[in-house]
Structure 1
Amino acid sequence: MTAIPQGRTRRAALLSAMCALVVTGTGLTGCGGDDPDAGTNGVGKLSADEIQRKTRTAADSADAVRLSGNVVTSGRTYRLDMRLKADGGSGSVTSEGSTFRLLRIDEQLYLMADADFWSHGDTDAAAAAKLDGKYVKVPQGDPSYKKFSGFTDMNVLLDGLLTLHGTVEKDGHHEQSGTRTIRITGDGGSGGTLDVSLEGKPYPVRLVRGGGAGTLSFSAWGKDFTLEEPKKNETVDYGPQLPTS
């Protein structure tokens, strides 16, 4: 009987242990060509169109979400970090070097910005200083209301964002921020790329919009948060129309 070299035996044992760790510890593909969807929600086995339907259904059923990243629209880039739910939202928006905070509770919208933000328009320095760091009520009849409230509307944002254009196809298994995903693309990526969670509900995790229109991450799906009216000393009622900004 031929003896097996001791070093080879140790290497085989080590390899076997590593494979077991990978499979049992993370649920990822093992060393023997195991099913990459083992231990997942099974969405990765579906067709690209079915995955798109499943993830949209999951998103529509969620009560809340956090959305962060860049959106490019009409040649202007907006950096968003918003928490959203059915009756409102809060967070920050940055555009062209200016950052402002938005808070909407039901139909009431508030905007907070610094003096520089307000002084870019037709507001004089004294008035801009009074608005600095204060929540300003945005009248519903003001042109800014529709523009800014859209950033706080969960349904409007998801309807406009979670759409891949062109022929939808699968683009393999991936990982985003520690979450295993299945990726689908529109027209090979030119129509957008969406990573869908393979853990728990098939929520959208990361979206790369087609045409260089921005990249967004989604998290905290279904995690409720509190929206509170600003205190009276934190709020300024500017009147029926905001200054041009």
Structure 2
Amino acid sequence: MTAALDAFKNSKSVRMKGDFKDEGQAVRIDVHVGTTQADGSMQGSFGNAPSTVKLRTLDGRFYMNADQAFWAGTLGDKTTGAALDGKWVLFPPSQAKEFKTFLGLRQFDQEVFTPLRKDLTVSGGLTTRREDVGGVPAIAVTRPGGKSTVFVAASGAPRLLRLTSTQPVGEMPEGTFDFSEYDAPLNIQAPPNPIDISKAR
């Protein structure tokens, strides 16, 4: 289990797909995360309006692209929402703290897997069982009474395949998250002419 978490941290890239709840609303995320970058999308009802939001991070900068309804609901300003409709928006680090998990694999490891390691290494031992993840044989590892289960490939390289939790794990909300496409090449570039959110209002 520890080897799988370490392999995640040391990979060049990983694809993460997850389903979780944000303030009671179902959210689905699909993002490729590299060492210092990420690119993907998030679907859900934000501000009571269904939206697909594009996410991108690069070298510590966070960008988001969404429709008018999302921006109006998120910012509470219909005029600004209309101005940002379909445009890439740059968030300064101080306003993107909730997305710091996706700044890169090492950041993700620090924000999510460091507390997970502590949870799975406390006294009480671990339980394991065999289970498939997307047709791939895996070993599910959990602590008796624990709220999180880690699924690791049963053969070959020690790959983390899935994490399920009924409570937040560090900065990751409760839900189910699948990990695949390890070390796939990424070519993520900053979007052209993003709007600085700090200057948009």
TM-score calculated relative to the size of structure 1: 0.65
Q: Percent identity?
A: 24
Distance 1:75 1:122 in 2: 19
Unaligned runs of 5+ in 2: 169-173
Point out where structure 1 has 5 or more consecutive residues left out of the alignment.
1-51
Q: How far apart are the structure 2 equivalents of 1:76 and 1:161?
A: 21
Q: Does 1:230 align with 2:191?
A: yes
- Which structure has more RCO (C-alpha within 8 Å, separation ≥ 6)? 2
Structure with the largest fraction of helix? 1
1:93 to partner: Cα distance = 2.3
CA RMSD of aligned residues (A): 2.6
Higher Cα radius of gyration: 1
Q: 1:88–1:153: 8 Å Cα contact kept in structure 2?
A: yes
User: How has the CA–CA distance of structure 1 residues 187 and 211 changed in structure 2, closer, same or farther, with 3 Å as cutoff?
Assistant: farther
Q: Whole-Å Cα distance in 2 between the matches of residues 211 and 149 of structure 1?
A: 19
How many residue pairs end up in the alignment? 185
State the Cα deviation string for residues 116-161 of structure 1 (Å, max 9, x = none): 0111233233x32231111112233xx4222234334322333343
More strand by share: 2
Deviations 1:50-90 (A, max 9, x none): xx222122222211111111244676654321110112111
CA gap 1:139/1:172 in 2 versus in 1, 3 angstroms: closer
**Maintained 8 Å contact 2:63/2:89:** yes
SS in 2 for 1:227: coil
Query: Counterpart in 1 of 2:175?
Result: 214
Q: In 1, Cα distance between the equivalents of 2:112 and 2:159?
A: 14
Moved more, 162-171 or 191-200: 162-171
Structure 1 residue corresponding to 2:57, chosen from 87, 101, 104? 104
**66-75 or 112-121: which moved more?**
66-75
8 Å CA contact retained: 1:90, 1:152? no
Q: Residue 195 of structure 1 aligns with which residue?
A: 151
Alpha carbons of structure 1 residues 211 and 131: separation in structure 2 relative to 1, 3 Å: closer
Q: Which amino acid aligns with 2:102?
A: F
